[in-house]
Structure 1
Amino acid sequence: MSTVRTEDFTRSDGPSREELVARAVALQPLLREQAAKNEARRRLTDEVSTALIEAGLFRLLTPRRLGGYETGLRTVLEVTEALGEADGSTSWLISVGSVASWVSGLASAQAQDDVFGTDPDARIAGGSAPAAARRVEGGLRVSGRWAYSSGAHNATWASMGALIMDEEGGVVDAVLCFAPASEVTLEDTWHTVGMRGTGSNTWVAEDVFVPGHRIISMGAMAEGAWPVPTDEAMYRLPFVPLATVPLVGPLLGIGRAALALVIETAPTRGMHHTFFTKQSDSVGVQIQIAEAALKLKTARLHAYGIADDLDAAAARGEDSDYSARAEIRAQLGYAAQQVLEAITILVNVHGAGSFAEASRMQQYWRDANTAARHAGLNAVIGYEVLGKALLGIEERISPAI
């Protein structure tokens, strides 16, 4: 694991990592204030959405030539961890929104102008689950549904996975299409107990035309065979790790917030059915807090080590081979599990009061347990992928490596 801090891909004419993280920290009071409203509405409030745009946080992985900041994964992690301390849902939308901006930057120059030409703060939401597409002159006609489209309420563009079929019904290619949000409809399907503020509802398209210049081959992109449009270092990052690493940032922030809450309240919180008048006097509590803190640090070391290694390799123009990507897949799932284990310990220390509706702890618990179930963070799948790679077993169980 790398211990060397990289400087991402930022240049002197853009905001530094420190400045971007400072912007995220400055938003924390607003996010805490609005978190309950985000939950109740099951989407971000207009106040939060506007504040994120004004802070430029949707530009993290947008190329500088399109008005973005062209940062690396280290910056994305630091920013989303800071946001996650205040509100997991808000942090999640910056994470997945950054990835969507990166992906759209792989499209043709014409597509990039469509998306970012007049709006460098373009917000893209969607899903990669394949829907039906048929070739027509100049592009595709797409119909389907894309669940878990995080941030769709505030999105300006929709991304949609599709399968191109031949005349015999065989699959020619799996692609990602981009269409203005105004050309699709949004179905209210996001009724969950955690990460409610992400508004991850379902896009619905009925025979939407997508011109050929707004289509990317997902298979070629996942294999690193899609032609990189420019020489920007950020596009040397491998797609699947690039898309998965940012998912850990919100979890790290939520875990940090849970730890801070327990440390803050332990000196004044009693322990029922014991002779302790405050939790902080209990050796058992002291040990559990230490264990939770170390689990969170373990998760952070894995995530940041991966980000630093990938940023450094991209800056040098080096590729990540399958075995390296297999290890990254397993590490990220492991890191997510470490956060969940830490939060479980902290809930045990905080006690039954954790589940009062007025308690911040219950939201941390719900949000973390929801976010960590993202398919990209499935730890058991990651462990199997890595185990097969270590044993030289060629069988592949996932295309997302």
Structure 2
Amino acid sequence: MADDVLEAVLDLIPGIASRAADTDRIGRIPDDTIRELVSAGVFRMLQPSRYGGLETEPARFYEVVRTVSAACGSTGWVASVVGVHPWHLALFDDRAQHDVWGEDDSTLVSSAYAPAGRLVPVDGGYRLSGTWMFSSGCRFASWALLGAMIVGSEGRPVDFVTALVPRNDYTIRDVWNVVGMRGTSSDEIVVDDVFVPAHRIKSNYETSQLRGPGQRVNTGPLYRLPFAALFTTTVAVPIVGVVAGCYEEYLAAMRDRVRLSLGGGRFVDDPFAQVAVGRAASDIDAATLQLDHNIRELWALARAGEEIPLQLRLRTRRDQVRATERAIEAIDLLFKTAGGTSLFLGGIIERAWRDAHAGSVHVANEPQRAYALYGRDAFGLPVEDNLI
């Protein structure tokens, strides 16, 4: 089934690529593109089979994400981020899953995981208020997964959780006016004192421990994987895909280019350009291979029913941020060696450069924390972090 999704997506790539410039210009993915991705099954790949999903091996999902991202960074980012939410929803109480997919199993969910909300306990659940930034694809979603703190009687946080909230209970503020990933429509979500039933609340600590009510009904290996491994890979793969797509466009554009400066001559005969291509290609390949290797190893352990060791979880985070760094190093090299033509707004190299850098500033792509966590463990020091 994953092959069917990839085959369907490959047929869509020429159209997605042709709309990439307009997606960037208007700051929104066209509705037709989202409908095509829905029809191709992209958003079902990590969804439980009980609700019409494919329960695909994650590496196959990320292959699809890379393919889409190579054609349009914004579309690939939304395909990745919105595409991983069915997996997270599958960890919730089955009543929450039914709330979303009971009537329409093609319903989409967005997210904003920063704990910007405040949950106050009441009978049967909680009252939620807050404002969340950066909810990618929220314009296409009917529900949102929102990070929040449960506060006790003294107003102090007692737990960090994710709340599932329907579209009728929040407003979206159009604030996404940015330099890169412009088409993701990662707007602001506002909730003003709404009721959230207890079954739509999921403890982040419980999730990090690979347990919860969802695993009792979704028993496949997909739902025995760590949240941090999947989510952080989800925000690295599109960047690698963007840069890989740019690399191919760069080669095509430069093969016939003749320089009017630096002594003239064909660009492809310049040994410095050849070295740049070699370095960029190596970085792209290394990023792809490391991400894929770790996700496949996690999957193999989950399928075998074996415990996933902390060292592998930390290595996955280490390599995920390094993959982002490698991708940025590659796109910077391509951008620089392309010369002045890379500066023109709307060009493929210029847009890819902006998209890659914009994606890299996501908190999960911040390298120092991930490296430090890996280093602590390597030195035998205790490691505590929900994002591993």
Report the TM-score, using the length of structure 2 for normalisation. 0.96
Where 1:162 maps in the other structure, the secondary structure is strand
Corresponding residue of 1:348: 336
Counterpart Cα distance in 2 of 1:232 and 1:118: 23
In structure 2, what is the Cα distance between the partners aligned to 1:262 and 1:159?
Answer: 38
Aligned to 2:49: 64
The equivalent residue for 2:200 is 214
Q: Deviations over 1:333-384 (max 9, x none)?
A: 0111111111111112211111101411000000001112211121122111
* Distance across 2 between alignment mates of 1:67 and 1:275: 61
Q: Gapped runs of 5+ residues in structure 1? A: 1-14
2:350 maps to 1:365: no
Letter in 2 for 1:280: V
Structure 1 distance, partners of 2:68, 2:372, is 32
User: Of residues 213, 225, 229 in structure 1, which corresponds to 2:216?
Assistant: 229
Confirm whether residue 175 of structure 1 aligns to residue 161 of structure 2.
yes
- 1:172-321 alignment runs, 5 A limit: 172-227=158-213, 228-230=215-217, 231-321=219-309
- The whole-number CA distance in structure 1 between the counterparts of 2:208 and 2:96 is 20
Q: Which moved more, 1:377-386 or 1:86-95?
A: 377-386
Provide the secondary structure at the position in 1 that maps to 2:293: helix
| SS of residue in 2 equivalent to 1:120 | coil
* TM-superposed deviation, 1:143: 0.5
- Taking the aligned partners of 2:336 and 2:152, their CA distance within structure 1 comes to 56
Q: Which runs of 4+ in 1 moved over 4 A?
A: none
CA contact (8 A) 1:107 1:229 kept: no
Q: Would the aligned equivalents of 1:23 and 1:55 in 2 still touch at CA under 8 Å? A: yes
Distance 1:376 1:192 in 2: 19
Contact 1:143 1:207 in 2 (8 A): yes
The Cα of 1:225 is off from its aligned counterpart by 3.8
Residues of 2 paired with 1:77 and 1:358: CA distance?
Answer: 27
Structure 1 SS opposite 2:114: strand
Counterpart CA distance in 1 for 2:317 and 2:346 is 36
Contact 2:210–2:225 under 8 Å retained in 1? no
Q: Is 1:399 matched up with 2:382?
A: no
Q: Which residue of 1 aligns with 2:103?
A: 118
Moved more, 165-174 or 330-339: 165-174
- 1:8 maps to none
The one-letter amino acid of 1:41's match is I
Cα distance in 2, alignment partners of residues 233 and 296 from structure 1: 29
Q: Which residue matches 1:4?
A: none
Q: Residue 270 of structure 1: SS of its match in structure 2? A: coil
Look up the match of 1:12. Answer: none
Verify: 1:149 aligned to 2:110, yes or no. Answer: no
C-alpha distance in 2 between matches for 1:258 and 1:40: 18
C-alpha separation between the residues in 1 aligned to 2:79 and 2:216? Answer: 24
Distance across 2 between alignment mates of 1:201 and 1:165: 26
Counterpart AA for 2:291: A
What is the SS of the residue equivalent to 1:229? helix
Q: CA RMSD for the aligned pairs?
A: 1.4
The aligned amino acid for 2:233 is V
- Match of 2:64, SS state, is helix
Residues 22 and 252 of structure 1: CA distance in aligned 2, closer, same or farther (over 3 Å): farther
Deviation at residue 190 of structure 1 after TM alignment: 1.3
Q: Deviations over 1:128-181 (max 9, x none)?
A: 222111111211110101111000111111111221112122322211111211
**Structure-1 residue corresponding to 2:81:** 96
User: Letter of the aligned partner of 1:178 in structure 2?
Assistant: L
Once the two structures are superposed, what CA deviation does each residue of 1:265-320 show, in whole Å capped at 9, x if it has no partner? Answer: 22211224223432111122112111111111111111110111111111111222
Structure 2: gaps of 5 or more residues: none
Contact 1:73 1:245 in 2 (8 A): no
Aligned residue among 8, 16, 19 for 1:34? 19
What is the CA–CA distance in structure 2 between the aligned matches of 1:91 and 1:59, rounded to whole Å? 15
Q: Aligned-pair distance for 1:395? A: 5.4
The answer as to whether partners of 1:262 and 1:349 remain within 8 angstroms in 2 is: no
Measure how far apart 1:183 and its partner are: 1.8
Identity %: 31
Structure-2 separation of matches of 1:151 and 1:375 = 18
Q: Does the alignment pair 1:137 with 2:123?
A: yes
Give the paired residue count. 385
How far apart, in 1, do the equivalents of 2:249 and 2:64 lie? 20
- Alpha-carbon offset, residue 83 of structure 1: 0.2
Deviations 1:98-148 (A, max 9, x none): 221111111112111110112222111121222111111211110101111
Whole-Å Cα distance in 1 between the matches of residues 309 and 155 of structure 2?
33
